[in-house]
Structure formats: C-alpha cells, structure tokens
C-alpha cells in the first residue's frame, strides 16, 4: 500500500494517429487549448498538453507516436487510438516504488524513468484491473526533468 498519499489525477493519456486531427476536436470542438506541444524523443512521441481546472488541475495528454519502434506506436497499431494510461501524482516517487514493491505490485520499471513531467514508473495493467497506471513525481523548478523536451509552441 502507498504510504504517501496520491495527490491527484495528474493526467489521462490518449494515443492518437495524428495530433493535428485530434486537436481539431479537443481544441476546436471542446475549447481546450493546449498549454504546449512538445517532442519527447526518449519515448518516441509528440505530446499536446491540454490543461483542465486551472493551475493545479489535471491534464489530458494527446500522444502521437513519432517512431514505429515505440511502445506507443505498437499500442496504436494493435488497439487503435484511445485511452493509453492514467497517471497519478505522488509526492515522492522513490517512496512510492518501495511501498509498491513491499505490497507485491507488478511494476514495469525497476527505477523511475524521466517523463515529460518529472520522474515516473508504470504499473502493469495485469495488476491494475487492465489499466496501465503511471505514478509521477512532478519536477519542481529546481529539479527539472532529466531529459529536455523540444517545444513545438502553443
């Protein structure tokens, strides 16, 4: 069991074939303007961040694969576009990993990986009722993510 409280739903990630086509719906139909669009080469994706609920609200992340060799691209080819994962924010990713290991949770990562938001780990869907779950500790202004992403503008 996690001893450190889950702070909030950080984001819900949705895989799309084409980011511009997806933005036509989310931005132009729903009125959710992306705060930024970045390339994240480490994971082979381009990400549009769609903030909801103000500065401490959750986000929708639209993920477009930029390489056919990535997990996101394989997911898209196998299952089509749609929900990829739900991400929960935790205050201390190392503590969360220790707690999860102690409880026997099925982790996909041995240690935190750099994410677009900070550092995170994924839990296997088999242990989470079929849902890929990510835990993330957001970077603070003094602890930027390990890998810089390339901004594509708003």
- Residue numbers of the domain that contains 115: 8-139
Q: The CATH number of the domain where 35 resides is what?
A: 3.10.180.10
Whether 59 maps to a domain, the answer reads yes
Between CA 55 and CA 91 the distance in angstroms is: 17
Whether 145 maps to a domain, the answer reads no
Between CA 42 and CA 143 the distance in angstroms is: 18
Name, in order, each residue with C-beta under 8 angstroms of 114's C-beta and a sequence gap of 6 or more: 42, 145, 146, 147
Considering the chain, what percentage of its residues have pLDDT values greater than 90?
84
Between CA 27 and CA 25 the distance in angstroms is: 6
Domain count for the chain, please give it: 1
- Is the pTM higher than 0.95? The answer reads no
Whether 119 maps to a domain, the answer reads yes
Whether 108 maps to a domain, the answer reads yes
Q: What is the pLDDT along the chain (154 residues), one digit of tens a residue?
A: 887 789 999 999 999 999 999 999 999 999 999 999 999 999 999 999 999 998 889 999 999 999 999 999 999 999 999 999 999 999 999 999 999 999 999 999 999 999 999 999 999 999 999 999 999 999 986 544 544 456 665 4
């Amino acid at each position: 069991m996690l001893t450190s409280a889950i702070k909030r739903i950080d984001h819900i990630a949705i895989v799309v074939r084409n980011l511009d086509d997806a933005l036509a719906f989310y931005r132009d139909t729903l009125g959710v303007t992306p705060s930024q669009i970045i390339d994240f080469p480490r994971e082979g994706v381009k990400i549009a961040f769609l903030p909801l609920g103000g500065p401490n609200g959750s986000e929708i992340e639209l993920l477009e694969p930029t390489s056919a060799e990535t997990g996101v691209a394989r997911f898209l080819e196998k299952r089509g576009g749609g929900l990829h994962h739900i991400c929960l924010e935790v205050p201390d990713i190392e503590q969360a990993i220790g707690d999860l290991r102690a409880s026997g949770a099925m982790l996909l990562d041995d240690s935190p990986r750099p994410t677009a938001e900070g550092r995170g780990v994924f839990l296997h869907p088999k242990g989470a009722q079929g849902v890929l779950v990510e835990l993330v500790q957001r970077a603070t202004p003094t602890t930027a993510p390990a890998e810089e992403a390339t901004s594509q503008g708003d």
